[in-house]
Each structure stands twice: as structure tokens, then as C-alpha cells.
Chains A and B, each alone.
Chain A
């Protein structure tokens, strides 16, 4: 068993933990965090895949992960913003119903 395989399995474990969080969590904030954990697991798996051959490092997955991190940050920011907006709309409608 190589260290790359160990990292790949750890990435899979992170993905599964994130998946569990997405399904179970009822709060949107927790869901967003769980999605991020899933994403990190995928990144870790890809990085581990770059070193399947112990002698050669494949730079392509590294570039993909670098792109993916930026997209993940952008997606998280959008999701969090929507969450805050929903919260405010929710609050104002509750005040109106009172």
C-alpha cells in the first residue's frame, strides 16, 4: 500500500463524512459546510491520483484542483450570501405576520 492510496482513501472518507452531513443537517449553514468538506475530499482524492505512479507526478490534477478551489470559494460565497438574504426575508415576513 502506497502513501498515495492512503491519501486517496482519506479523501474518500472526507467525501463520505461530507455526504452524511449534507443529507442529515437541517440547517443551511451546516449543509454548505458539509458540501465544502465533500469538495475538500474530492480535491484530496485528485491530488492522490496525481501520484499513482510513485516516480512520476502528474501536474494535470494539480491544475484542476487549483481551479476547483477558486470555484468552490466562489460557490460557497454565493451560497452564504443567499442564506443571509433568505434569513433577512424570513425575519421581515415573521415581523409582518406579527
Chain B
């Protein structure tokens, strides 16, 4: 498909690549100079916010500092990140055919043996490993986004092997897509009532709340990434039919 794509601007008569090369070398040189100046000025004594985070790590409910930053100290970022992902999915998904079932099994006459065998072997392992990553996020590298990305990879494999089809515009899919944002906002605003400020977890429940948010986030991220992948195939078909309608008019 991309070989035939022909979206080009009208290029000027003068070859500007030499000028651009000079410009990017200048940009790189400037950034290099700034970096070396900064490195020389703090002489490796600057530890950033690491001491602050290590001091307060016991208040966060998890022992992995990155997870502590993502879901406790800077939980706003993660909330907005999930919102951005949802906005992109809303922008891309065509709002149609929401009465179709969430999950459909297609009967394929000519199966791709390699892909279907690969899916049969890898998909269960990926689900188990994603669950492990989600759980491991509390004390070592891992967490909702890694688990979600893995599961989305598994669903891309599923999508490629053409055995199953997920309808991302069904009601079930919509509920699962917004699940994490709804849970996140609900917990955040409920904590205003209980604790006095947005997304300030009580010490006793912080680990549990983080795990709850991360689990919902895994589901939503998986569905969001998989729907983003499938949107290319979907948008291709719908655009073609759209064009037909346009020519009929």
C-alpha cells in the first residue's frame, strides 16, 4: 500500500537538502555544546530528584521507584496519558456498527498454518507473562504499559492470523476502552473527599489502589493499542466505501 502512496509537497526548484544538512549539523552542534557545558558544570554531582524519591518511597505503597513516580508522585501524568490515548482512539475509530458482537470467530477456508500455530503457542504464554509484568511492576521494572503493550502484540498476532475479529466499536469495547480513565478519575475524586486532595492515596491502601488502577489501565491500553493497529485495515475499507458514496452523489 505504501509503495503507491504519493502524498508529496511541491518541492522547490533549488535542491535544499544541502542547506538542511547544514542546518541540522548546526542544531546538533548547538545541542552538543549545551550538553557538554551542563555535564562539565555539575561534574556528576547532580542527582536530580533521586534522593527525594528514595526518601519518600515508603509512602508510595510500591518499592519500584519508576512505578512510584508514575502512579503516585506524578499520577497526574499517567491520568492524562491514558486520556490522550483515549482521545486518539476516539479520533480514529469510526463510530459505526456498534450493535455487532464484541468478539467474532471467522471461519477461514485457507488457514495460514505458521501464523495460527504461532498464535496457539505464543498467545497463552503472552497472557501469563503480561500478568506477571503487571504484578512485578510494584517492585521491579514492569507495570501496566509494558503488560498492555505485550497483550496488544498478542492481539496483533491474532488479528494477522485472521481467525478472530474484534469489533472495536461495540459497546463492550467502548466500556473497556474508557474503563481505566473512569476508574482513575473515580478514585482520584473520591480521594478528595477522603484525603483532602486529588490522587493522594491513603498510606494503608496505596498499594492496592495502584494495583487496581494498573489492572484497569492494562485492559484499556491493550484494547487501545490493538484498535489503533486495526484502524489501518478498517480505515482502508471504510474510505473506499466512502469514496463510492461520494462518486454516486
Contact = CB atoms under 8 A, between A and B. Distances in A.
Nearest to B22: A20
Given A16-B27, A81-B232, A85-B239, A59 B69 contact: yes
A44 interface: no
B46 interface: yes
Given A8-B35, A12-B31, A54-B44, 15 more contacts: A15-B28, A19-B27, A23-B20, A52-B42, A53-B47, A59-B53, A60-B50, A63-B74, A67-B81, A70-B84, A70-B145, A70-B221, A74-B88, A77-B228, A81-B92
A97 interface: no
A61 B74 CA distance: 12
A interface residue count range (under 10 / 10 to 19 / 20 to 34 / 35 or more) = 35 or more
B70 to A, nearest CB: 5
7 contacts: A26-B9, A29-B2, A67-B70, A70-B84, A77-B229, A86-B7, A95-B243
Interface in B194-249: 221, 224-225, 228-229, 231-232, 235-236, 239-240, 242-243, 246-247
Contact of B231 (A17, A56, A71, A81): A81
Interface of A: 2, 5, 8-9, 12-13, 15-17, 19-20, 23-24, 26-29, 45, 49-50, 52-54, 56-64, 66-67, 69-71, 73-75, 77-78, 80-81, 83-92, 95-96
A78 B66 contact: no
Given A16-B25, A29-B2, A58-B49, A73 B243 contact: no
Give the dominant DSSP class at A's interface: helix
B23 interface: yes
B235 to A, nearest CB: 6
B88 A78 contact: yes
A58 B32 contact: no
B92 A63 contact: no
Contacts of A17: 24
Contact of A74 (B24, B28, B66, B228): B228
